[in-house]
Structure 1
Amino acid sequence: MGISDLKLPATVRAHALADAGTLSTTLAADVAERLRAAISGKGQACLVLSGGRSPVPFLEQLATETLDWSKVTVSLADERWVPVEHADSNAGLLARHLFQGAAGKARFISLYRQAESLEAAAQSADQALAELPAIDVLVLGMGDDGHTASLFPGSPNLASGLDRDSQRRCLAMLAPSVPHQRLSMTRSLLASAAFIALSVQGPGKLATLRAALAGNDPSEMPIRAFLHDPLDIYWCP
């Protein structure tokens, strides 16, 4: 069974890759091509990435792509509310695996903010994201529970986070896993991206996608909010 066996909406394109290495190189090349096109067309590009462990080979491959990184603004779909020095920081992940060599010239807008509360940090991040250019490329991941970014089932702010018409760019979110406290871009901001890629690996994630496609309630599986918009899914066994 592979991704070609899923009944995908007409707006979704599936890229079935042989293995994790091929997925990383293919996704990095496609992302870089779109960033180069944006720079050529309007003088700048904006890329929003997801954290976690699985994106590391992709990030390292993307860092080797030839493009004018000084004209690229990078941000994160979500962040753990921990300082950049913390092992779980997505900003720290990008610093170690993407912002090396020429890619170090990119402008980075961080979601993490020191504040007296998670809500205050989210308000501060929301204001910082007012400077984010129109998103040219968004790369999402997906958890086994169907969450994407830090839009988790059962999080108190999930309804606001999934509101397509929300004016908020960033909200406080609670994850069932440690660290619980998260900052997440909202669906309204994420869905504004010109190109959205979903990167998933393995039979477990394929089963999660199948379950997500079988229902309609995004509060149960937030990835459903993106499965009927234009989306490119990159998958390998």
Structure 2
Amino acid sequence: MNINNTFRTRNMLDQKFAQRIAKQLTAAISDKGYASIAFSGGSTPKGLFKELSNKNIDWSKVTITLVDDRWVDTQNTDSNDRLLKENLLQNYAANATFFSLKQADALTEQYLTNLTDQANSFLPLDVVILGMGEDGHTASIFPCSAQVHQGLDENADPALIKVVPTTAPYERVTFNYAALIQASHLYLHVVGQSKQDVISQALANDDAVAMPIRAFLQNEDKTCNIFWAE
């Protein structure tokens, strides 16, 4: 784990983070001919999205997807799908391929199987950018959900799963831990002192079921780089 990526302002964070991501995507394209990246939603990454959308890289060879999404209409203001389309899939980045997690009306097991089969075409991901809630959830792996053990199962196949949180609205579709931890570059993007406090709490104990972010921050084989600004 690395906490050295601390910035005085969110604007500085967005600029530096976008530069790093662009370099890593370009390196992946050079190495294998394509790249893939998964983003988290919420208000935190909006500035990063705008910076990254203006990076002049070969976006036609990049697949962009989401770490997770709420099971709502893609025009809903709570949709991460909409968030990406309005803030990231613009400018140069409009040339990227977008893999939506919301492609049907019903969130069924068959849908999840089919969606996972499609995602296997670009897994493992080159870059994963996680967010984190005040309760220590990340992606849509919620400690309050009946699916928390399924989401954190390190022996499971990489997959997309359904989660029904009890402390947050909407059913969710999310990549599981097994899929996200395989990323070549793994990040946690957070802002504000309250999130720094949650990180400290997460590092003080290893119970990932109570705080799922611990599974990523305390993995012995994978570095989760933290990008933080006040």
The count of aligned residue pairs is 227
Q: 1:48 aligned to 2:42? A: no
1:118 Cα shift? Answer: 5.0
State the partner residue of 1:208: 198
How far apart in 1 are the matches of 2:167 and 2:55?
34
Kindly report the root-mean-square deviation, in angstroms, between the aligned alpha carbons of the 2 structures. Answer: 1.5
State the partner residue of 1:188: 178
Equivalent residue in structure 1 for 2:74, among 63, 73, 84: 84
Structure 2 residue runs of 5 or longer lacking an equivalent are: none
Aligned pairs (5 A) from 1:1-237: 11-117=1-107, 119-228=109-218, 229-237=222-230
How far apart in 2 are the matches of 1:151 and 1:166?
14
Q: Retained in 1: the 8 A contact 2:72–2:170?
A: no
Identity %: 35
How far apart in 2 are the matches of 1:193 and 1:69?
19
Which deviates further from its counterpart, 37-46 or 175-184? Answer: 175-184
- Provide TM-score, normalisation by structure 2: 0.93
For the residue of structure 1 that corresponds to 2:31, the secondary structure is helix
State the partner residue of 1:3: none
Q: Retained in 1: the 8 A contact 2:157–2:178?
A: yes
Q: Retained in 1: the 8 A contact 2:153–2:178?
A: yes
Residues 187 and 111 (structure 1), Cα distance of their counterparts in 2 relative to 1, 3 Å cut = same
1:139-167 Cα shifts (integer Å, max 9, x gaps): 11111110111011121111011011211
Structure 1 residue runs of 5 or longer lacking an equivalent are: 1-10
Q: Retained in 2: the 8 A contact 1:28–1:62?
A: yes
How far apart in 1 are the matches of 2:15 and 2:29?
21
